[in-house]
Amino acid sequence: MWNKYAKLIVDYCVNIGKLDEVVIISSVEAYPLVIELYKEAIKRGAHPRFLLSDDTMSEIFYKYAPTELLEYSSPIDKFIMENIDVRISILSPTHTKPLMNIDPERRKIREKALKELKQIFMNREASGELRWVVAAYPTKAMAQEAGMGIIEFEEFVIKAVKLYEEDPVKAWIEQANNQNKVIKLLSRVDELRFVSKDTDLVVKVGGRTWINDDGKNNMPGGEVFTAPHEDSAEGYITFTYPAIYGGVEVEGIRLRFRNGNVIDAYAVKGDEFLKKILEVDEGAKKIGELAFGLNYSIDRFTKQILFDEKIGGTIHIALGSAYLRTGGRNVSAIHWDMIKDMKDGLVYVDGDLVYKNGKFIIDDVV
């Protein structure tokens, strides 16, 4: 199974070729998949290297690092980000909230220090120089967080990434084609209005580019997204699910926008953390991403954004940095996704109803 997954990632997601400089980032939990990825990259003549991502080490860093280290931007990290051809990140945590008790101020300092690296990533992926994917590997910690058994969660992941299909690549191409129909509709739109319980939000998207997340950057994929005009958001929105940032869970978020900026923010749980993150920089108060979740194989909330932002019948926005290839201009040290279930909601495009009960209702649009 993991060899089949590795081939999907190597050939479909990032298209590894001869002498590509490849970085594979993962915890030890995903070692069976890492080995298969390494083998498949070598067989294609690439040069892979493995970087360990460890939750305990992350906690140690944030807990003990002096301020000057929190503020430090490593030239080695910068060199790697500027020179690799492919980055494969395997989401495989051993602990889902390793930084939950770290002082938000320390995290704010570190976010600012990492801003340059994130901007290099944004620029290189926008130009096509950097091919990248974030893929999920089922771990016990993720299963527990999702409220599933270990075997149950593994089956959930296999279904979400379409490994149950005889030809997963063909299945993802079909998903991509269906999502292109949505993009064809939305690309003609100037204004979107979202109406649901405790939500009435209007954004402008005219002239912006909609991106088809067909599994090549996220595995699983299953969304279409863009960046709204930075000064356009008006109204309010309440999010259905907890929004998780760096392991900190914030529940019952309600945001009010004026001229594109958050002017009022409230959370039932984690209100202080929410307000601190919004103060990281000016860009943190604006919407950097707007998306529709269209992967109907993902039908439950797992507390893992890689799955949850794709849930069929949802929308999400991200506060903070925009992906440049959408035409978005917002720059921030953060990119924080927040998800709303729209199964009882409506979406209007330029005044016309096109989405109801979690699905598009226009002919030839899924």
Q: Confidence class of residue 248 from pLDDT cuts 50, 70 and 90?
A: confident
What's the pTM value of the predicted model, to 2 decimals? Answer: 0.81
What average pLDDT score do residues 191-204 get? 96
What average pLDDT score do residues 103-110 get? 85
Backbone angles phi, psi at 143, to 5 degrees: -60, -45
pLDDT at 126: 82
Token pair listed for 276: 């601190």
Domain annotation covers residue 162: no
Instruction: Select from 119, 137, 155 the last residue of a domain.
Output: 137
Specify whether 234 is located in the same domain as 352.
yes
Domain annotation covers residue 169: no
Specify whether 8 is located in the same domain as 115.
yes
Specify whether 210 is located in the same domain as 82.
no
Domain annotation covers residue 110: yes
- Whether 198 shows a pLDDT value over 60: the answer reads yes
Give Rg (Cα) of the chain: 20
Q: Confidence class of residue 127 from pLDDT cuts 50, 70 and 90?
A: confident
Contact 202, 178 (CB under 8 A): no
Specify whether 130 is located in the same domain as 193.
no
For 355, counting Cβ atoms within 10 Å of its Cβ (0-12 exposed, 13-18 middle, 19+ buried), the class is buried
Instruction: Give CA–CA dist 354/208, Å, rounded.
Output: 19
pLDDT tens digit sequence for 226-246: 999 999 999 999 999 999 987
- Whether 202 shows a pLDDT value over 60: the answer reads yes
Q: Mean pLDDT for the chain?
A: 93
pLDDT at 338: 97
Instruction: Select from 110, 137, 164 the last residue of a domain.
Output: 137
- Number of structural domains in the chain: 2
What average pLDDT score do residues 47-61 get? 92
Specify whether 226 is located in the same domain as 323.
yes
Domain annotation covers residue 147: no
Q: Which residue has the higher pLDDT, 104 or 117?
A: 117
pLDDT at 364: 60
pLDDT tens digit sequence for 275-300: 999 998 999 999 999 999 999 999 89
Instruction: Select from 70, 105, 137 the last residue of a domain.
Output: 137
Specify whether 133 is located in the same domain as 191.
no
Domain annotation covers residue 332: yes
Residue 19 DSSP class: T
Q: Confidence class of residue 105 from pLDDT cuts 50, 70 and 90?
A: confident
Specify whether 226 is located in the same domain as 342.
yes
Specify whether 10 is located in the same domain as 85.
yes
Domain annotation covers residue 202: yes
Specify whether 320 is located in the same domain as 195.
yes
Specify whether 205 is located in the same domain as 265.
yes
Backbone angles phi, psi at 68, to 5 degrees: -65, -25
Q: Which domain holds residue 67?
A: 2-137
pLDDT at 172: 94
Domain annotation covers residue 220: yes
- Whether 345 shows a pLDDT value over 60: the answer reads yes
- Whether 366 shows a pLDDT value over 60: the answer reads no
HSE, side-chain direction, 13 A CA sphere, residue 272 = 3
Candidate from 16-25, 212-221, 242-251 with smallest mean pLDDT: 242-251
Specify whether 194 is located in the same domain as 129.
no
Residue 294 DSSP class: -
To 10 degrees, what angle do helices 271-278 and 104-113 make? 30
* Strand order from edge to edge, sheet including 346-349: 261-266, 254-258, 234-238, 199-204, 191-196, 346-349, 352-356, 359-360
CATH number of the domain enclosing 98: 3.40.1830.10
Domain annotation covers residue 155: no
Specify whether 206 is located in the same domain as 128.
no
